[in-house]
Amino acid sequence: MTKRKIKIIILCIIIVTLILIAIIGGQEMNNVSEQLEDPIEGLLVPTQEEARYMVDQFPDMDGAPYIIQPLNYDIDLAIERGLATSAGFSDRYLNMQALYRRALEQYLAEKLSLNMFDEMLATNELRFIPVPDERRDFYHRYSTFGFQYIYLRNNLPIERLSVEDLDVLSSYIEMGHSSVTE
């Protein structure tokens, strides 16, 4: 199979995925609150209210239940590691998760040349329309890729990371860094 055919197949998979996301899960969240009072500059962190969407049902724009899937957060483990209480995730958890998301997305963007695919979608003769900011779902809103069309649609249950990895993230948060270099 030639490289051109492989690129076309990958582009088709991305296009189909984007269309399915728009049809199935592209509903906008309601009642989005402001960001945390003292966020780390350059790090996009969900608020406590938005964090509850990670584990609870909430109504979409039409009032139907919308669940971020799969629900693989381990609240008990997060509480055990001091990252949550019975009331929900701590600000520390949300900051560490945002930092981890940025590091993961930077790694994926570099390794997979995702900017090339986003540019292909942006300049394609089919004229794909990007989702406007106000219609972006939770995952798209908190993506750090900076792309119009590609974002990571994945939960990041950082409570499952090793204690050493959590310590690395925590140290970067304490230093006020918005990127991980380790």
Distance, CA of 155 to CA of 73 (rounded, Å): 8
pLDDT tier at 10, thresholds 50, 70, 90: confident
Place of tokens 């402001």: 34
Position 39 scores a pLDDT of 58
pTM: 0.67
Work out how many domains the chain is built from and give that number. Answer: 1
Name the β-bridge partners of 84: 89
Asked, for residue 180, whether it belongs to a domain, the answer is no
**Do residues 147 and 114 make contact, with C-beta atoms less than 8 angstroms apart?**
yes
Place of tokens 């309601």: 30
Distance, CA of 49 to CA of 94 (rounded, Å): 11
Asked, for residue 103, whether it belongs to a domain, the answer is yes
Distance, CA of 34 to CA of 45 (rounded, Å): 10
- The model's pLDDT over 77-90, given as tens digits with 9 standing for 90+, comes to 999 999 988 888 88
- The model's pLDDT over 98-125, given as tens digits with 9 standing for 90+, comes to 999 999 999 999 999 999 999 999 999 9
DSSP code for 125: T
Asked, for residue 182, whether it belongs to a domain, the answer is no
DSSP 3-state assignment of 177? coil
The DSSP annotation for 29-77 comes to PSS--PPPSSPPTT-----HHHHGGGTS-EE-TTS-EE--S-----HHH
Name the β-bridge partners of 85: 88
Asked, for residue 157, whether it belongs to a domain, the answer is yes
Position 26 scores a pLDDT of 38
**Do residues 42 and 98 make contact, with C-beta atoms less than 8 angstroms apart?**
no
- Which domain covers residue 30, as residue numbers? 3-175
DSSP 3-state assignment of 84? strand
DSSP 3-state assignment of 92? helix
Give the tokens for residue 72.
Answer: 């693989």
